[in-house]
Amino acid sequence: MRRISLCLLALTYAGAGLPAEPPKPLPVLAATVTRINDGDSLEVTLESGSVRVRLSAIDTPEYDQPYGATSSAALKAMLPLGASVELEVVTQDAFKRIVATVWLLADGKRININEAMLREGHAWGYRRYMRDARFCDLEAQARDAKRGLWAQPVTDWVYPPEWRFLKNGEIRALPVPYGETRETCVAVLGMAGAATY
């Protein structure tokens, strides 16, 4: 028994020095835009039929919160009906939507719409589902330049999950307005229930 344990231990340490397998590429699906639902979700047609899509790693204001309608209009302007897109699929959410990075194919270019929404100030980085601090950087750059929703008074900077928590009765009041920063964004990357502080 001791000899088997030593062999297993030796194999474990021997394998520890091996390079990790590179991550597998995410599936990519060709699609056509058929409808924009709001600032972070849309409907597309695939070869196999129609599906709903949620943009990964970003969250936009709800329709009934400040900047919600403007955020939706921004996504409509970026993704006109009939536009050709590629969906880099991350997962499927609880609402049976494909969660993906959406790439617009136009004029020989491939544009990352998720990043464009952040860069132009139409979205927040979705702290709970982000895995890359670059989204915090893009959000901070838009905030520093006062683009999009960041041109509003600080009192209107309401992180969309907090707005939903209020609407669902999970909290009684929104947090006191605060100055969001890149550091507070990075500090909560990937945390379940992550807020902005």
Active site residues: 54, 62, 97
In DSSP terms, 45 is beta-bridged to 32, 50
- Which position has the token pair 């928590």? 165
Give the type of residue at 12.
T
Helix, strand or coil, per DSSP, at residue 82: coil
Helices (H) and strands (E) in the chain, counts: 6, 8
Give the type of residue at 151.
A
Q: Percentages helix, strand, coil for the chain, rounded to the nearest 5?
A: 35, 25, 40
